[in-house]
C-alpha cells in the first residue's frame, strides 16, 4: 500500500457570469489525475505555469477544496476535513513554499515561526520547545542564535532553510515542496537540495516535489509525472521520461532545457525547432477534439503515456 494514493482527483473552479451571476462554465484546474507516492521516495510533478501542479499539491495538504475524487493516506480517505482531523493527517503532511519571504510571517521571530507546528500538534514545555527549535535549526545548518531574529534578517537561501525546518518540525511522513528552489541562486539551490536529501534519509520522509525545472527534478526524483492542462501526459521512472519520452509535450519540455554545451547548440536549436513545429502542426494527434489530453495508457510496467489507443499499440509493438 502506498503512502499517498490520488484517485481521479478533480478540482474545478466555477466561472460565474450573466445577470444572476449564475455558474456558466468551469475551469478544469485539475481534471482527473491518479498517482501514488511510496514511503521514503521523492515523486516529481512537473508542469508549466497554469498546468495545475500547485493546485494538486495544495489539495494534498488540504488547502484546496476537492471537487471530486479521493486522496488516500495509508489507505484511509483524507479527502475532507473531518477525516483529516481524526487521524492527525495535518501533522503528518507538511508543505514547503516557493516564496520564503511571503510564507514566513514578517512579524514573528524564527523561534515562533518554527515552533508554530509544534505548538499545534504537540504539548511541550517552553524549554523542551526551545531545545527542539534549536535542534531543527541545527539540522538545516543554521546557528542557534538565529531564533531571536526576524525573517528579513536572512538571505533567500537561509529563509528557505527555515521553511524546511518548519516543515520537518512535527516529524511528517510527507512534505509537499512547491517549487522550493526556483527563486534561489545556483549555489544556494545546491545547498537547499542537499539538505532536503539529507533530511529525507534521516527521517524517511516522502516528498512530492513540484517544479518546472527538469534538471532539478532529474536530480531529486526517481518517479515523476508530467502535467499539462490539468491532466497527466506522461508518467514513468526517471529513465522512462528522460531517455524515452513518448508524448510530444514531454519532448518539447526536454528540448527546451538549455544545455551547458556550447558546441552542440546549433544542433540543439534545430532539434528544438523541429519538435516545436511538430507540436504546433499536429495538435489533433496528441490532444482530443476539445484540446484535452487523452487518458493515460500503459506502455511498459512503469511507463504510461496519454495517447489515443491505436498509437499505443503501435508503440508497444515497437518496444516489445
Interface with other proteins (CB under 8 A): 48-49, 155-157, 185-191, 193-194, 197, 212-216, 218-220, 222, 238, 252-253, 255-263, 265, 268-269, 272-273, 276
Closest CB to other proteins among residues 264, 309: 264
Burial label for 250, CB within 10 Å (0-12, 13-18, 19+), is: buried
Closest CB to other proteins among residues 1, 260: 260
Quote the Cα angle for 258-263-267, to 5°: 65
Closest CB to other proteins among residues 124, 188: 188
d(CA 150, CA 199): 24
Q: Closest approach of Cβ 189 to other proteins, in Å?
A: 8
Closest CB to other proteins among residues 7, 218: 218
Here the cell at position 82 is 473531518
Q: Closest approach of Cβ 74 to other proteins, in Å?
A: 25
Task: With H, G, I as helix, E, B as strand and everything else as coil, classify residue 180.
Answer: coil
Here the cell at position 100 is 520564503
Q: CA separation (Å) from 285 to 233, 282, 298, 305, 316?
A: 13, 5, 18, 13, 17
Q: Closest approach of Cβ 44 to other proteins, in Å?
A: 11
Q: Closest approach of Cβ 157 to other proteins, in Å?
A: 8
Q: Closest approach of Cβ 270 to other proteins, in Å?
A: 11
d(CA 74, CA 191): 32
Q: Closest approach of Cβ 190 to other proteins, in Å?
A: 4
Closest CB to other proteins among residues 1, 186: 186
Closest CB to other proteins among residues 91, 159: 159
Quote the Cα angle for 314-282-289, to 5°: 90
Amino acid at each position: 500500500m502506498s503512502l499517498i494514493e490520488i484517485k481521479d482527483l478533480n478540482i474545478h473552479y466555477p466561472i460565474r457570469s450573466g445577470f444572476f451571476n449564475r455558474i456558466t462554465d468551469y475551469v478544469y484546474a485539475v481534471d482527473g489525475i491518479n498517482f501514488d507516492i511510496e514511503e521514503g521516495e521523492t515523486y516529481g510533478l512537473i508542469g508549466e505555469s497554469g498546468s495545475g501542479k500547485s493546485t494538486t499539491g495544495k489539495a494534498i495538504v488540504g488547502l484546496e477544496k476537492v471537487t471530486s475524487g479521493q486522496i488516500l493516506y495509508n489507505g484511509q480517505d483524507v479527502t475532507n476535513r473531518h477525516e483529516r482531523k481524526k487521524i492527525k493527517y495535518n501533522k503528518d503532511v507538511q508543505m514547503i513554499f516557493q516564496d520564503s519571504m511571503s510564507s514566513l510571517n514578517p512579524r514573528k521571530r524564527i523561534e515562533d515561526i518554527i515552533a508554530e507546528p509544534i505548538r499545534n500538534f504537540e504539548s511541550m514545555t517552553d524549554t523542551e520547545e526551545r531545545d527542539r527549535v534549536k535542534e531543527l535549526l541545527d539540522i538545516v545548518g543554521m546557528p542557534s542564535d538565529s531564533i531571536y531574529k526576524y525573517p528579513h534578517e536572512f538571505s533567500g537561501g537561509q529563509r528557505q532553510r527555515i521553511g524546511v525546518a518548519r516543515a520537518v518540525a512535527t516529524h511528517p511522513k510527507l512534505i509537499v515542496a512547491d517549487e522550493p528552489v526556483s527563486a534561489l541562486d545556483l549555489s544556494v539551490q545546491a545547498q537547499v537540495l542537499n539538505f532536503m536529501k539529507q533530511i529525507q534519509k534521516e527521517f524517511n520522509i516522502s516528498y512530492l516535489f513540484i517544479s518546472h525545472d527538469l534538471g532539478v527534478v532529474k536530480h531529486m526524483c526517481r518517479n515523476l509525472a508530467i502535467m499539462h492542462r490539468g491532466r497527466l501526459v506522461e508518467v514513468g521512472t526517471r529513465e522512462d521520461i528522460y531517455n524515452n519520452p513518448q508524448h510530444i509535450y514531454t519532448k518539447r519540455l526536454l528540448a527546451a532545457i538549455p544545455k551547458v554545451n556550447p558546441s552542440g547548440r546549433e544542433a540543439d536549436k534545430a532539434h528544438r525547432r523541429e519538435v516545436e513545429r511538430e507540436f504546433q502542426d499536429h495538435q489533433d494527434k496528441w490532444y482530443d477534439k476539445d484540446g484535452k489530453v487523452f487518458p493515460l495508457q500503459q506502455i511498459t510496467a512503469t511507463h504510461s503515456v496519454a495517447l489515443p489507443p491505436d498509437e499505443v499499440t503501435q508503440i508497444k509493438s515497437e518496444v516489445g
